Amino acid sequence: MFSVFAYTSIAALTAAVFMPETNMSYKRRLSIIFRRTGFLREYRDLYGNLKQGLPKYLGETTAGNYAEYSYSIPLGNVLSESLEKAIVEAFDVPVKVYAEGGRLYVRFYNENLPENISYAKVPNRGGYVVPIGKSLDGWLFHNFDKTPHMTVAGATRQGKTVFLKNVLTYLSERHGEDIRFYMIDLKGGLEFGRYAKLPQVVEVASDASEAAEVFTKLRQQMNETMAYFRDNGYTNIVNTPIKQRTFIIIDEAAQLTPEPFMDDEEKKLMQYCQWCMAEITRIAGALGWRLIHATQYPTADSLPRAVKQNADAKMAFRLPTELASRVAIDENGAEYLPNPGRGIYRTVDRQIVQVPYLSDEEMAKRLKLTKRSVITWGELGERRDDRVRTNEVPTENDRDIIEFE
């Protein structure tokens, strides 16, 4: 059984420098923690009396940016959340605690993550894989063929949209029309409207009624694909020669939440959209559909239960409270994240990462967008008319971000 837990204390999140010279060695401090938390082994002394002692110390290894201590896990003990927390909170450098093959490892890093990592530094990977960010153990990627659906949460201005732009750019740079994007941009199309003419972007929906239209089309395609799979005896797209993958990216999904003040028709529209999202995560992963649900604060109302259950990858940027963190990633920690772009990526394990920063200008350059290929505010405005449900107004910069040809 393999389990990994990585925590970083509040102090370590802000500490910029490694402090290897402490009054008390790391090993000694760990011994005290083991005693106080009862992480001890039992043995019999020379007279046959049952005694308790420290877990067996196995050694220390050092690598580029860390020193790691290993111990035998005493029989009957487990690596509990409270033990990890006790270890992590005792040190003011980033610490990772994990258990593997009957051993406990405590890793002390001699550096902290930077606050900004350029998208240009992301390594190249093939397949349906996107960069999540850089952790202290190196670059982390998410493979949509292994884990088809993802939720993203984070307070305003913490990096959700930048992360989604990473996904769109990284995949579009490496794939032609075998990748299709349906962007449900519920900030009135402000963020993704300008990418509507990319060959990989099939549609950008900018409000709930456009989203409902897109979902209806997707359901139809889903049914057709399902019939095709049945006829060919396929069960999962990853085991077929089919290259096509369809990404449905919903930015600010809380805009699809039915509210008590809405009239029945509007509520039904929202409920329909939520039901479609749930259906996609329930059924369509094996057919090649990948859904990313991003919202500031996922609640039972804004994040359909089926989406949460079927999204086996969860990304959280800074959230206002511990409760919000538990809602988003089923554990606390996101309330301590120190800067925009710093996130917790949660699958069976958890990793703290810095998401690469990608500006709109660099994105446009990479995707070879010229002024002519970018949808204009006029075109977008006609489509958005009076249905825009956002307080944001386009600025001069937004209107004309792509200056080069």
Ligand X SMILES: Nc1ncnc2c1ncn2[C@@H]1O[C@H](COP(=O)(O)OP(=O)(O)OP(=O)(O)O)[C@@H](O)[C@H]1O
Minimum CB separation from ligand X for residue 140, in Å?
Answer: 13
| Beta strands 350-354 and 342-346, pairing class | antiparallel
Contact 44, 52 (CB under 8 A): no
Q: Judged by CB under 6 A, does residue 258 bind ligand X?
A: no
Rounded distance, CA 399 to CA 397, Å? Answer: 5
Closest CA relative to residue 213, chosen from 247, 243, 182: 182
Rounded distance, CA 259 to CA 254, Å? Answer: 10
- What is the rounded end-to-end Cα distance, in angstroms, of the chain? 54
Residue range at the interface with Mg ion (CB under 5 A); choices 64-72, 157-165, 201-209, 257-265? 157-165
Minimum CB separation from Mg ion for residue 152, in Å?
Answer: 10
Residue range at the interface with ligand X (CB under 6 A); choices 25-33, 153-161, 171-179, 307-315? 153-161
Tell whether 321 is in a known binding site: no
Angle at Cα 220 formed by Cα 223 and Cα 164, nearest 5°? Answer: 100
Tokens standing for residue 364: 């446009």
Residue range at the interface with ligand X (CB under 6 A); choices 23-31, 149-157, 175-183, 381-389? 149-157
Among residues 340, 367, 369, 388, the one that binds ligand X under rule CB under 6 A: 340
Angle at Cα 223 formed by Cα 222 and Cα 229, nearest 5°? Answer: 85
Choose among Mg ion, ligand X, none what residue 156 binds, the Cβ cut-off being 5 to 8 Å by kind.
ligand X
Q: Judged by CB under 6 A, does residue 167 bind ligand X?
A: no
Residue range at the interface with Mg ion (CB under 5 A); choices 16-24, 27-35, 130-138, 153-161? 153-161
Of 161 and 257, nearer to ligand X (C-beta) is 161
45 CB neighbour count, 10 Å cutoff: 9
Contact 118, 22 (CB under 8 A): no
Among residues 35, 51, 157, 365, the one that binds ligand X under rule CB under 6 A: 157
Residue range at the interface with ligand X (CB under 6 A); choices 154-162, 228-236, 237-245, 284-292? 154-162
Minimum CB separation from Mg ion for residue 327, in Å?
Answer: 18
Among residues 8, 310, 341, 346, the one that binds ligand X under rule CB under 6 A: 341
AA identity, residue 298: P
Dihedral angle sign, alpha carbons of residues 207, 364, 170, 126: positive
Tell whether 161 is in a known binding site: yes
Of 94 and 159, nearer to ligand X (C-beta) is 159
Collapsing DSSP states into helix, strand and coil, what is residue 242?
Answer: coil
Closest CA relative to residue 154, chosen from 353, 337, 346: 337
Q: Give the distance, in angstroms, between the CA of residue 210 and the centroid of all CA atoms in the same chain.
A: 26
Binding to ligand X by CB under 6 A, coded x per residue (else -) over 277-316, reads: -------------------x--------------------
Q: Judged by CB under 6 A, does residue 154 bind ligand X?
A: yes
Closest CA relative to residue 191, chosen from 214, 148, 160: 160
Tell whether 156 is in a known binding site: yes
Among residues 14, 61, 156, 223, the one that binds ligand X under rule CB under 6 A: 156
Among residues 162, 208, 334, 375, the one that binds ligand X under rule CB under 6 A: 162
Tell whether 155 is in a known binding site: yes
Name the CA radius of gyration of the chain, rounded. Answer: 24
Q: Name the helix (H) or strand (E) containing 132.
A: strand 129-135
Among residues 131, 159, 288, 304, the one that binds ligand X under rule CB under 6 A: 159
Q: Judged by CB under 6 A, does residue 333 bind ligand X?
A: no
Choose among ligand X, Mg ion, none what residue 333 binds, the Cβ cut-off being 5 to 8 Å by kind.
none
Q: Which of residues 343-372 bind ligand X (CB under 6 A)?
A: 355, 357
Tell whether 368 is in a known binding site: no
| Beta strands 41-44 and 2-7, pairing class | unpaired
Tell whether 255 is in a known binding site: no
Choose among Mg ion, ligand X, none what residue 154 binds, the Cβ cut-off being 5 to 8 Å by kind.
ligand X
Q: Which of residues 40-99 bind ligand X (CB under 6 A)?
A: none
Angle at Cα 316 formed by Cα 392 and Cα 350, nearest 5°? Answer: 165
**Which residues does residue 294 pair with via DSSP β-bridges, in sequence order?**
152, 251
Q: Which residues bind ligand X (CB under 6 A)?
A: 116, 154, 156-162, 296, 340-341, 355, 357
Q: Which residues bind Mg ion (CB under 5 A)?
A: 160-161
Residue positions forming the annotated binding site:
154-161
Residue positions forming the annotated binding site for ATP:
154-161
